Amino acid sequence: MLNFNYSIPTQILFGKDQIEALGDQVKKYGSKVLLVYGGGSIKKIGVYDKVVEIFKANNIAFWELGGIDPNPRISSVREGIKICREKDIDFILAVGGGSTIDCSKTIAAGYYYDGDPWDLVTGDAEIEKALPIGTIVTIAATGSEMNSGAVITNPETNQKLVYGHPAIAPKFSILDPTYTFTVPTNQTAAGVVDIISHTFENYFTRTKGAYLQDRLAEAVLKTCFTYGKTAIDEPKNYEARANLMWASSLAINGLLAFGKNAIWSMHPIEHELSAYYDITHGAGLAIITPPWMEYVLDDETVDKFVEYGVNVWDIDKTKDKYAIAHEAIDKTREYFRSLGVPLTLKEVGIGEEKLEDMAKAVIEHSNGPVGDFKPLNYEDVLNIYKKAL
């Protein structure tokens, strides 16, 4: 296990009706709020009305930025910063999924930066501070509610980039699983794949001796495999929604990665798909993950796949190592299939045309080979894209 400094600063308010604490939480940080949300689902499920009621009861003034797209655009960030400056906003509340939260995080950081906020995403300028933000999560997927990362798209340059800074970690997040009852089947499935993928990224590493982190990761994986399909078949199953919601936060809040050299590779490969084709992030991960697994499986990595197959899928450990590894990969693919997510690029309308451009972009954005479990160069990434066709 490697050295690490533990810090997960976000306060989590988990469970039914935790929104009742919203007024007190916001007042710790400010009284003039920018309320950020997506395409309107929060109005349909009644969370918007509840937030407004609480703001009014607590004399909290607020302005709105709605319409944040999935794969949030830098243009929405610019718009949000403008409102914050004009109205002297002192707190941002994101209500929605990862897209709304990431947009809000970037508005929060951009508020204190004089140049274009895209510079903060590319790393051309450093974040010094950010407005405080809080979140109300409505979909279990990205874990953005409990981490200090964000992903923003710039359609003009075909770039979808990840960046992070401690200042953008939410001060609090309200996780009420009942809000996720209305998430449509395809988004529920994509969210489950995203949680699984975050866990894989932290699990499939070369670091030895992080026994505890790996067992925690296996518990998160088993939680997803146990409850993912249930949430699809029974959207209002509280137990399933609650377990997935907490799994989504734990998969990517640092807990599974502390003490490990977790350099991600499936995500950078997927991000180019959603940058170039604006597809759902979790769907892209479902397409990339099994081919990635098959591609990186070799004598150096096989033991990790055995660990995964035996501990997560209960495969007979006396079998041949490669037989276990292949069975584990097949089970992963079959599980994704049972969720109804796409498993090939063709299914989401992606052909061979831009595979080379995307492979180049993966390497460029990773500043060299991608990942550490098995570092992948341009040819490797291109081969994985081709396997995914």
Q: Which of 25, 76, 99, 366 binds ligand NZQ (CB under 6 A)?
A: 99
Dmax of the chain from CA atoms?
Answer: 66
Q: How far is the CB of 201 from ligand NZQ (least distance, A)?
A: 9
| Using rule CB under 6 A, residue 199 touches ligand NZQ | no
Q: Considering the rule CB under 6 A, would residue 267 count as an interface residue with ligand NZQ?
A: yes
Terminal alpha carbon distance of the chain: 37
# residues contacting Zn ion (CB under 5 A): 1
CB of 359 to ligand NZQ, least distance (A): 19
Query: Residue 8 binds what, of ligand NZQ, Zn ion, none (CB under 5 to 8 Å, by partner type)?
Result: none
Q: Of 189, 284, 282, 280, nearest to 233 (Cα)?
A: 189
Find the shortest distance in angstroms from Cβ 249 to Zn ion: 13
Using DSSP's 3-state secondary structure scheme, residue 160 falls into strand
Q: Which does 192 bind (CB under 5 to 8 A by kind): Zn ion, ligand NZQ, none?
A: none
In the chain, where does DSSP find H-type helix?
A: 22-27, 41-44, 47-57, 74-87, 98-110, 118-122, 185-203, 211-233, 238-251, 266-277, 281-296, 302-313, 321-339, 355-365, 378-388
Pick from 275, 314, 342: which is nearest to 72 by CA? 275
Question: Applying CB under 5 A, which of residues 102, 194, 307, 380 lies at the interface with Zn ion?
Answer: 194
* Interaction partner, residue 65 (Zn ion, ligand NZQ, none; CB < 5-8 Å by kind): none
Identity of the residue, 311 or 332, whose beta carbon is nearer to ligand NZQ in the bound complex: 332
Secondary-structure breakdown of the chain: helix, strand, coil percentages, each rounded to the nearest 5: 55, 10, 35
| Site for ligand NZQ contains 358 (CB under 6 A) | no
Binding segment for Zn ion (CB under 5 A), chosen from 87-95, 149-157, 193-201, 255-263, is: 193-201
For residue 183, the minimal CB distance to ligand NZQ (Å) is 4
Pairing of strands 149-154, 159-164: antiparallel
Q: Whose CB is nearest to Zn ion?
A: 194
Of 25, 84, 94, 98, the one binding ligand NZQ by CB under 6 A = 98
Contacts of 54 (CB under 8 A, 6+ apart): 19, 20, 22, 23, 60
- Residue nearer to ligand NZQ on the CB measure, 149 or 369: 149
- Binding piece for Zn ion, criterion CB under 5 A, among 118-126, 178-186, 192-200, 210-218: 192-200
Give me the half-sphere count of Cα atoms (radius 13 Å) on the Cβ side of residue 308.
29
| Closest by Cα among 205, 201, 200, 207 to 2 | 207
Are the CB atoms for 328 and 309 separated by under 8 Å?
A: yes
Q: Which of residues 60-79 bind ligand NZQ (CB under 6 A)?
A: 70-71
Interface with Zn ion, residue 201, by CB under 5 A: no
Site for ligand NZQ contains 138 (CB under 6 A):
yes
Q: Is 8 exposed, middle or buried (0-12, 13-18, 19+ CB in 10 A)?
A: middle
Stretch that binds ligand NZQ, among 180-188, 218-226, 362-370, 376-384 (CB under 6 A): 180-188
Distance, in Å, from the CA atom of 33 to the CA atom of 91, rounded to the nearest integer, reads: 5
What residues line the site for Zn ion (CB under 5 A)?
A: 194
Contacts with ligand NZQ by CB under 6 A lie at 38-42, 45, 70-71, 96-100, 102, 138-139, 141-144, 147, 149-151, 179-180, 182-184, 187, 191, 194, 252, 267, 281
